[in-house]
Structure 1
Amino acid sequence: MTQQQKTEIQTMLKQFIEQFPSQSKAAANLKGVSEATIIQLLKGRWESISDEMFTSIGKQVGYDAKGVWHLVETLGMNTIITIVADAKEYGNVFALIGNTGNGKSEVPEWYASKKENTFVVSCAEHFNKKTFLNEMFAAMGKDGSGYGVAEMMDGIVETVLRMKEPVFYLDEYDKLKDEVFLFFITIYNRLEGKCGLIIAGTEVLEKRIKKGVRLSKKGYSEIYSRVGRSFIHVPPPSKREIAEICEVNGCDDQQTIAEICNTCEGDIRRVKRAIHKYKLMQALKAA
């Protein structure tokens, strides 16, 4: 890792800490990082800090070794932030739907780095109830190892009760198997009025719930009711917004921007790859 990369991580760490009432609070939101290490890093005393630790801190504060990716305030981004902020402040429950690569995963992670007691859980097909609750535990900076499902559920409730305006953003919820998918009912019942909840996924999530309701599948009507019998759709980025994303992230060639706008299909991941390719080509030309 170069000195420049370490300097960039140091800068982003400072920005991360500014979002919390104290340095100690910020340190508590970084996994596997002591406050002593943070102090040394901020002071520029890097001799005793390994590259692995720099990498770990960098990932947690939003640094990418390929270059810092700058978010642009799009309509989609504002929609996501508005929903998360509402759930956080008022303890509301929502179902958020967005196309692949439209920021519904990236934006909440960014928001969580700025706002205390905002927890993002990325769901996966292999999750069982215990794995799922352990991920919720981990998102809060806690270790659920050795606990059973009931104990972890009790622990989450007890922890949430001590927090100001907590919210869980359960991303890619549509990937879960039915047993865990329907566990949302229990989570809702235990956290209602105590914590905001958002389940997020692609249009598959909406179709799955509506189909379950139509077929009278056990539990699906309860989930549909708990999300207000509605789904909030995140609008894809417009061509103007994509062009701004390109420019802010180092691609200022208008022909390249036009090609990206016309071929990315509103997928920010494709925009990232295209910008990366453009930067590589520019570097090769300059070599």
Structure 2
Amino acid sequence: MERALKLKVSKELKYLVEIHGTKTISKKADIAPSTLESMLKESTKLVPNEIWEQTRLNLRMQLDWKVVEDSNLKRTVELLKAVQKNNMSIGICERAGAGKTETYKYYEREFVNVINVECGSQWTRKEFLKKMLRCAGLSPVGNSNRMMEKFIRHVRQMKKPLIIIDQADKLKDHALDLYIDMYNALSGKAGFVLSGADGFKKRIERGLKYGKVGFAELYSRLGQKFIQFGALTLEDVKLMCKANGMDDELTIAETFNKCGGDKRVVRRQIEKYILIKEKAA
């Protein structure tokens, strides 16, 4: 990793430590406190390259992209605050590219006591538990029961925790059952967000229709509804573009017309614009 990138990682670490504290960040990054201290001091030669890269990945840093407070992000942040404060449980279901994952990462970065998990499609029940523990800054060792007990015990000691299970639509049914187990153990002690793409709602509805085991219980714990994001507006796209280096009004308008409400398309268009601009300079 180049020194310039290491300095960006160090700068982001300083920001995170100021909000969350050294202990939390070292655990979530899976590095020793002494190593974190060296990184905060910008000791780029003392810390191996692989540790810098590991830290960047474990903390899901977006070093060359500025997340903006667009209309959806503002609304969702207020919703997440309410869920966290009142120990609520909600479901969010929205099309791919709407900005769900980006919003959850932003919330985890800016607010304390947030456990944010991005699910994988091939995860077993045990792999899901391991990821939950890692995202909570805990060591994922032992059998499934031991890991579950460890996670529950840890969350109960936290002050107003929020557990975000993102891309839950990727989970198999047996792994999704873990949400019910966690909710039952932590009801009134933690807030929960179960989030997925638009197909997730249809999957739950099919499960209800055909009486699949656990689906009625799951839906009940989500308040029997899914919350959706609003449509991406031209003003939202303008905010994204200008914050990340695209300042030509015509190009911004074209980007909005091409994106189809997909933030990932907007990002690709911005990155393409910046690349062409740099080559022409």
- Report what 1:49 is aligned to: 47
**Would the aligned equivalents of 1:12 and 1:61 in 2 still touch at CA under 8 Å?**
no
1:150 equivalenced with 2:150 (yes/no) = no
- Report what 1:136 is aligned to: 132
**Counterparts of 1:178 and 1:59, CA distance in 2:** 28
RMSD between aligned residues: 1.8
**Would the aligned equivalents of 2:28 and 2:134 in 1 still touch at CA under 8 Å?**
no
2:229 corresponds to which of 234, 255, 274: 234
Tell me the secondary structure at the aligned position of residue 205 of structure 1.
helix
**Kindly tell me: are residues 272 and 153 of structure 1, through their superposed partners in 2, closer, same or farther at Cα, counting changes over 3 Å?**
same
TM-score (norm 1): 0.91
- Report what 1:253 is aligned to: 248
- Aligned amino acid, residue 180 of structure 1: A
Query: Where does 1:22-101 land on structure 2 (aligned, <5 Å)?
Result: 22-31=21-30, 33-61=31-59, 63-64=61-62, 68-101=64-97
Deviation at 1:86, TM superposition (A): 2.1
**Would the aligned equivalents of 1:27 and 1:38 in 2 still touch at CA under 8 Å?**
yes
Deviation at 1:219, TM superposition (A): 1.7
Percent identity of paired positions between Structure 1 and Structure 2:
28
2:204 corresponds to which of 203, 209, 216: 209
Deviation at 1:73, TM superposition (A): 0.9
Number of paired residues?
Answer: 281
1:219 equivalenced with 2:214 (yes/no) = yes
Tell me the secondary structure at the aligned position of residue 100 of structure 2.
coil
**Kindly tell me: are residues 28 and 176 of structure 1, through their superposed partners in 2, closer, same or farther at Cα, counting changes over 3 Å?**
closer
TM-score (norm 2): 0.93
**Kindly tell me: are residues 41 and 101 of structure 1, through their superposed partners in 2, closer, same or farther at Cα, counting changes over 3 Å?**
same
- Report what 2:6 is aligned to: 6
- Aligned amino acid, residue 10 of structure 2: Q
Deviation at 1:50, TM superposition (A): 2.1
**Kindly tell me: are residues 152 and 16 of structure 1, through their superposed partners in 2, closer, same or farther at Cα, counting changes over 3 Å?**
same
* Cα-to-partner distance string for 1:59-106 (whole Å, 9 max, x where unaligned): 455544xx5211111121123222322222221100011221122112
Listed as ranges, the gaps of 5+ residues in structure 1 are none
* Cα-to-partner distance string for 1:16-59 (whole Å, 9 max, x where unaligned): 11112x4334333322x222222222223322122222223334
